[in-house]
Amino acid sequence: MRKRYTAEQRERLIAEVQAGEAVPVVAARIGVGASAAYLWIKEAREKSKPTFARLVPASRAAESSSLVLEVGRARVRVETGFDAALLKQVVSALSGES
């Protein structure tokens, strides 16, 4: 039977490893198997990877102060003076991140 770990154990392990502790040391201290610890670290890294959007050259008729981002099948035109926080939210939503 597999041992069950709590969300608190997982979060604590990830936080301590990100703070610079060695995975085996933290795992032993918390009482988590080393293989589970390495899996959690790998999953945490994959979740934090940036999502990339493809940059599509705007048509020549378009203003030179704009660009078009392609995220999946969606195209987003970004004009001068855009709200960076809003753009990040839009790209995140289009790429399926929460």
Give which of 56, 47, 49 is closest to 74, Cα–Cα: 56
Q: What is the pLDDT of residues 3-40, one digit of tens each?
A: 888 888 899 999 999 899 999 999 999 999 989 999 99
Taking the whole predicted model, whether its pTM rises above 0.85 is answered as no
Which burial class, exposed, middle or buried, applies to 14 when counting CB atoms under 10 A from its CB (0-12, 13-18, 19+)?
Answer: middle
Position 64 pLDDT exceeds 70: no
How crowded is the C-beta side of 95, counted as CA atoms within 13 Å?
19
> Residue ranges of the domains in the chain?
7-47, 54-94
pLDDT at position 39 is 92
Work out the pLDDT band at 48, boundaries 50, 70, 90.
Answer: low
